[in-house]
Structure 1
Amino acid sequence: MSKSIITLNGLKIVIMLGMMVIILAGVRIAAEIIVPFVLAIFIAVILNPVIQYMVRLRVPRALAIFTLISLIIFFVVVLLAYLGTTLNDLARTLPRYRTSLVIPLQTIEPWLQRAGIKVSVEQLIKYIDPNSAMTFISTLLTQLSSAMTSIFLLLLTVVFMLLEAPQLPTKLQYTLSRPSAGMAAMQRAIDSVSHYLVLKTAISLLTGLIVWIMLLVLGVQFSFIWGLLAMALNFIPNIGSVLAAIPAILQVLVFQGVYDALTVLAGYMVINLVIGNILEPRMMGRGLGLSTLVVFMSLIFWGWLLGAVGMLLSVPLTIVVKIALEQSEGGKRIAMLLNDVPDYK
C-alpha cells in the first residue's frame, strides 16, 4: 500500500514538473507578446500611487491619467530626440578611438610585462575594428526611430489598466475560491511590488543624475548616455551598477588616459557605495524577504525567460511568485527556501 502511495506521489511530481516545463516553454516562445503586457502592468503599478494622490486632490481620475501620460509622452519624445543626437555624435567619434587606444595600451604594457603577462600592443590594435561598433550604433538608432510606435501602444495599455484599476478588486473577488485570503495576498503582493518599484525608480533616477553630473564635471564626453545607462541598469540587482560603469571607464581610458579613468572608477565606486549600501537600504526600509542568492538566481532565470525586461523586473516578479506560493501548504515550503531569514514558526 505504502509503495503504491510513493509511486503515485512520484507520478504527481513528474506530471507537475512536465507541466511547468511546458508552461515555461510557452512563455518563452510568446515572450514578444507577454513582455510588453508585463511591463505595462509594472508601469501601471508605479503610476497608480500618483494617480490616487491626484484623485485625492479632487482631480477626476480620467483627467489625472491623461495629464500624467501626456507628460510622460512629452519627456519620452524629448529624451529620444536628444539620445538620437548624442548617439550620432558618438558614431562620428568612434573612428578616432582606434588611434587613441594606442597611448593607454602603451602605458599599461610595461605594468603587464612586470606582472609576467606578455602583450603586444601592435597585435591588439589589429583586432580592434570600429566598424562593428558603428554598425551596432546605427542599428540602435534605427530601433530608436521605430520605438515610438511600441512606446505608444505600451502607454495606451497602461492607460486602460489605470482606468480599470478601481473596478479590478471587485471583479477579482468573483474569480477566487477564497476571496478574503486571495484578496489579502494580492494586496500584499501589490503593496510589496509598488513599494519596491516606486523607491527603486526614484533611486535609479537619482543614480543616473549623479553619474551624469559627475561625468560632466570631469569633462567626459557623452555623459548623458552614461547617466541614462546608469539609471536603467540600476534596476538590475547585484551587477547592474557594475555593468553601467564599464563603457564610461573604457571611453575615458581611451580618450583621456589611465589616471582620468581611475578617477571615474573611483567616482562610480563612491556613488555605488553611498547609494547602494547606505541610501537604498534606508529608503527601502524592511528587506525584500529574498535571500541574496535567490535575487541573483532570479536575475538569471527571468533574464532567460523574458530577456532584458525580465532582468530589470526580476526582483518584483520573484516577490509575486513567492507570495503566490505562500497561499498553499505545498507552496509554503518552496517559499521558505526563497526567504532571506527562514520563518520556522
Structure 2
Amino acid sequence: MASTRTLRLLLGAAALAFLAVTIKAASDIIGPLMLALALTIVFHPLRKRLTRRVPAWLASVSVVVGVYLLLIVLGLMLLVSIARMAQLLPQYQAQLNEQFAFIGTTLNSWGISQSQLATMKDSVDTARVASAAASVLGELLGVLSNFFFIVVLLLFLAFDGAHTEKLMTHARRFRPNAVEAMSSFARGTRAYLSVSAIFGLIVAVVDTGALWIMGVPGAFVWGVLAFVTNFVPNIGFVIGVVPPALIALLDGGPTLMLAVIIVYSVINFVIQSIIQPRVIGNSVGLSTTLTFLSLVFWTFILGPLGAILAVPMSLLLRAVIVEADPTSRWVLPLVSGRLDPPEPDAPAPG
C-alpha cells in the first residue's frame, strides 16, 4: 500500500513538472489565453444583466466591445508611460553621478577602495535602468499588442459564454464536483481581478495626485505603474515605489525621496494591506505563503504577465487538482491557510 502511494505521488509530481515545462514552452499562447479567459470571467455578470433586457447576441457584442475598449485604454497608458520613462530617466545622469560621488566619499571613509567604487558606479546607468524598466513594461505591452489573437479569442469566448450556464447545469448532473470547482475558480478570479482593479485605480489616482503636489517628475507614469503593480500580490507596492523614489532623489534630494516613500507607504499600506484584503475577504482562498510562491512560480513560467495572473493561475490549478477530486479536499485548509467553517448542526426533531 505504501509503495502504491509513493508511486502515485511520484507520478503526480512528474505530471506537474511536465505540465510546467509545457506551459513555459507555450507561454506566448497560454498567457494571452489566460488573460482573455480572466477578462471574460470578470465581464460575465454584466452579460447576465444585459441578457435580461436585450437579445443574447447583443449582450455578447456589448461584452466584447467593453473588453476591447479596456485593452485599448491599458495599451495606450502603457505605451505613453514607456515613452515618457525613456525620455525622463536619461536626463538625470548628472544628478546620479553627484549622488554616487557623495556616496563614494562616504564609503571611502569607511574603507571601501576606489576601484570597487568605480565598478559600482559603472554598473549603474540611467540608460540601463530605463532600458530594463521599458523591457518589463514592453513585454506587458507585447501581450496587448498581439491584438488579433486576443480579439478573436475574446470574440469566441464572449459568444460561447452565452451557453455557459446551460452547459454547466447539464454537466453538474454527471460531474458535480468538477463543475463546483470551476465555479469556485470563476468566483475567485472575478473577485481578485475586480477588487484589484478598483483599488488599483484608487491607489493610482491618489499616488499621482500626491506626486504631482510634491513636484516629482513623471507623476502620470508612476501612477500607471502603481495601477499595474496593484495586481502583483505581496511585492507590488515595493516594485511601484522604487522608480518614483529614485526620481525624487535625483530631482529633489533625500528629503523628497523620503517624503515619497512615506506617502507611498501610508497610502498603499492603508489601501492595499488593510482595506483591500478585507473587501476581498476569503473569496480567493490562498494562503499568504502560497500566494507569494505562486507569484515567483508563474513569473518564471509566463514572464511579467505571470506576476499579474499568478493568483488566477493558482486558483485554476487548485480547482482542477484539489477541488474537483473529493479525495483531495483535505488539502484545501493547507492551501487556503484556514479551516473550513463547520457544518451547521441539524435541527432537533420537533
TM-score class normalised by the smaller sequence: 0.7 to 0.9
- CA drift at 1:262: 0.8
Q: Do the aligned partners of residues 63 and 169 (structure 1) sit closer, same or farther apart at CA in structure 2, a change above 3 Å counting? A: closer
| C-alpha displacement of 1:78 | 5.7
Q: Does the C-alpha gap of structure 1 residues 210 and 54 become closer, same or farther in structure 2, counting only changes over 3 Å?
A: farther
User: 1:143 and 1:327 mapped to 2: Cα distance?
Assistant: 34
Percent of pairs with identical residues: 24
CA gap 1:13/1:87 in 2 versus in 1, 3 angstroms = closer
Tell me by how many angstroms 1:32 deviates.
Answer: 1.6
Corresponding residue number in structure 1 for 2:345: none
Select which of 15, 18, 23 maps to 2:14.
18
Following the alignment from structure 1 to structure 2, what is the Cα–Cα distance between the partners of residues 144 and 17? 31
* Deviation of the 1:218 alpha carbon: 1.6
C-alpha RMSD of the superposition:
3.3
Q: Which residue type is aligned with residue 152 of structure 2?
A: L
How far the C-alpha of 1:76 sits from its partner, in A, is 4.8
Return the alpha-carbon distance in structure 1 between the equivalents of residues 83 and 314 of structure 2: 38
C-alpha spacing 1:10/1:92, structure 2 compared with 1 (3 Å)? closer
Q: Per the alignment, do residues 338 and 77 of structure 1 end up closer, same or farther by CA in structure 2, a change over 3 Å counting?
A: closer
Which amino acid in the other structure matches residue 220 of structure 2? F
Does the Cα contact within 8 Å between 2:85 and 2:218 map onto a contact in 1? yes
Aligned to 1:99: 94
- Paired with 1:50 and 1:318, the residues of 2 have a C-alpha distance of 25
Given the alignment, which residue of 333, 337, 346 partners 1:340?
Answer: 337
Call closer, same or farther: CA 1:323–1:163 in 2, change over 3 Å.
same
Residue 196 of structure 1 is matched in structure 2 by: 192
Retained in 1: the 8 A contact 2:82–2:138?
no
Match of 2:323 in 1: 326
SS, match of residue 146 in structure 2: helix
Q: Does 1:263 align with 2:259?
A: yes
Q: CA deviation at 1:138?
A: 7.5
1:285 shift after superposition: 3.2
Tell me: CA distance 1:113–1:287, structure 2 relative to 1, closer, same or farther (3 Å): farther
Q: Which moved more, 1:251-260 or 1:282-291?
A: 282-291
CA distance in 2, matches of 1:18, 1:336: 24
Q: Which runs of 5+ in 1 are unaligned?
A: none
CA contact (8 A) 1:44 1:158 kept: yes
Q: 2:57 aligns with which of 53, 62, 73?
A: 62
Amino acid in structure 1 at the alignment position of 2:58: L
- Please show how residues 23-102 of structure 1 align to structure 2 within 5 Å: 23-56=19-52, 58-70=53-65, 73-74=68-69, 76-77=71-72, 80-81=75-76, 83-85=78-80, 87-102=82-97
1-structure distance, mates of 2:54, 2:215: 44
TM-score, scaled to structure 1: 0.83
Structure 1 contact 235–312 (Cα < 8 Å) conserved: yes
Q: Retained in 2: the 8 A contact 1:253–1:260?
A: yes
SS at match of 1:310: helix
TM-score by length of 2: 0.82
In structure 1, the partner of 2:347 is none
Distance in 2 (alpha carbons) for counterparts of 1:79 and 1:9: 48
Number of aligned residues: 339
CA gap 1:261/1:119 in 2 versus in 1, 3 angstroms:
farther
Given that residues 204 and 223 in structure 2 are in contact (C-alpha distance below 8 angstroms), is that contact kept between their aligned partners in structure 1? Answer: yes
Superposed displacement of residue 38, structure 1: 1.0
3-state secondary structure, aligned to 1:46? helix
- Cα 1:52–1:138 change in 2 (3 A) is same
State how far apart, in whole Å, the 1-side matches of 2:249 and 2:189 are.
39
Aligned counterparts of 1:193 and 1:148: Cα–Cα separation in 2: 20
Q: Which has the higher contact order (CA 8 A, sep 6+)?
A: 2
CA shift, 1:79, in A, is 5.6
